[in-house]
Chain A
Amino acid sequence: MGLAKRIIPCLDVDAGRVVKGVNFIGIRDAGDPVEIAQRYNQQGADEITFLDITASHEDRDTTVEMVERIAGEVFIPLTVGGGIRSCDDIRTMLNAGADKVSINTAAVTNPDFVHEAAERFGSQCIVVAIDAKKVSAEGEPDRWEIFTHGGRRPTGLDAVEWAKKMVDYGAGELLLTSMDRDGTKVGFDLGVTLAISEAVTVPVIASGGVGNLDHLVEGVTKGGADAVLAASIFHFGEYTIPEAKRYMAERGIEMRL
């Protein structure tokens, strides 16, 4: 018995509303973030992550209000990612009640931002999101590279080296998404998950490609992930969080049931 592996549902938010429907039976309004967060909390989600996809700056204020409302009702860790570019952005989200922020593109364009953010707010609230894609050809040694802009733009940065650098700069946790798996439902890229998990001291959250509960199990047992993040398998009611937790626990993984 010991530290439990975490299951983290991820919700896309646009102007303070959850988009890409979440199907809970009996929910009044499929886009209400407070109600959705409460349902996931009741189901035993270990944390909740919001990915803010709001395009316009003005609409971001509604995301802040949303975080405030959720933080007043749901008492598990909340992470907000998407559009975090400055220490002011971080302060705004933390003051609203977020516990962690996830920095993505801004870390690639300005790594010192991660350092500054960790110094100012503490590593415990700084998650760096790493979007990696396999770039080695068949037969070559495995190599993964960092991509930005939703996986369209290569950066030339080696994913494992980049992960180590981000931890040196003060990242308290890494959210690793295998971009070539995202949305495929064929499972995590276990190679890059294990390579990064073994290379760094901080927890790694595996993301991208989950299609069934065995994928969650493998992420932990073969990928060495400390937490697994998934969106669609929970949102569309294919599996519930209690089902996923029981399934993982039956396979010898420590879970909070």
Chain B
Amino acid sequence: MTIAVIDYGMGNLHSVAKALEHVTHENVIITRDPRCIRGATRLVLPGQGAIRDCMGELERTDLRGLVQELLARQDKPLLGICVGQQMLLDRSEENGGIDCLGFLAGNVKRFPADMRDDHGHRLKVPHMGWNLAHQHHAHPLWNGIDQDEHFYFVHSYYVAAADDATVFGSTDYGRVTAHVAIGRDATFAVQFHPEKSSRAGLRLLENFVNWAP
């Protein structure tokens, strides 16, 4: 039993690996070796930084084809985190428009810059800090997590999925409703960072480790 955190060269994977190790005795590896990724029982697709760089590195490390193949097969659970969520959509408007993996229908959009809060202060982009995840549908990964629980976010672009059946949670920021938990079959993906979201985040990771779709 091995959980592989896919390392295609983008961002800090130590936090997510440490959080997984905290909730499971299964072997957690950070890898870009296709054999290890194929051999793993579960996959985590993380992502930080600009989507052009994330998609570019996935391409450069020859992992894009493999990830797409595994997404098509859906024979092992996969958890996408942050840009790892955004990459599952058709297209992102970041970096002038970038085609993504197209696993779920919808797009990735930028938060408007002109939003203000109740005190009249500007709403910052990135959307950084703790915000509420509103659960749309029941899902095994929500088990034991309260409705409208706080999770930790850092992102400037957000997911707008086209099919409501794929949306498991959303978060309001200004006038935007971001689809922060999406999925289908054996794939679930979140915009927030479960590895930094204290108890609720650890519970979601534990649910992922125990998930048998």
Contact = CB atoms under 8 A, between A and B. Distances in A.
Contact of B122 (A71, A94, A197): A197
Interface in B69-126: 113, 117-119, 121-126
Contacts of A5: 129
Contacts of A123: 49, 126
What are the nearest 8 A-B pairs in CB distance?
A122-B49, A224-B121, A256-B130, A256-B150, A4-B130, A3-B131, A124-B154, A203-B124
A3 B154 contact: no
Interface of B: 11-12, 14-15, 18-19, 21-22, 48-50, 113, 117-119, 121-132, 148, 150, 152-154, 172-174, 195-198, 201-202
Given A75-B22, A124-B128, 15 more contacts: A2-B173, A3-B129, A3-B153, A3-B173, A4-B129, A4-B150, A46-B129, A71-B15, A124-B49, A201-B124, A203-B124, A204-B124, A224-B121, A226-B124, A256-B130
A201 B125 contact: yes
A72 B18 contact: yes
B172 A46 contact: no
A118 to B, nearest CB: 9
Contacts of B122: 197-198, 201, 224
B131 A4 contact: yes
Contacts of B129: 3-6, 46, 203, 226-227
A123 B119 CA distance: 27
Size range of the interface on A?
35 or more
A172 interface: yes
Contacts of B11: 121-122
Given A97-B18, A99-B15, A203-B126, A2 B121 contact: no
Contacts of A201: 113, 122, 124-125
B202 A2 contact: no
A121 B119 CA distance: 33
A23 interface: no
User: Helix, strand, loop or mixed for chain A's interface?
Assistant: loop
A41 interface: yes
Contacts of B124: 201-204, 226
A224 B202 CA distance: 31
Interface string A105-135: 0000000000000000111110000000000
Nearest to A74: B198
A25 interface: no
Interface string A1-32: 11111100000000000000000000000000
Contacts of B12: 94-95, 99, 121, 125
Nearest to A202: B124
A124 B130 contact: no
Interface in A197-250: 197-198, 201-204, 220-221, 224, 226-227
22 contacts: A1-B172, A2-B117, A3-B123, A3-B130, A3-B153, A4-B130, A5-B129, A6-B130, A71-B18, A75-B22, A76-B152, A96-B14, A97-B18, A122-B48, A125-B48, A201-B122, A201-B125, A202-B125, A203-B124, A221-B119, A226-B124, A256-B130
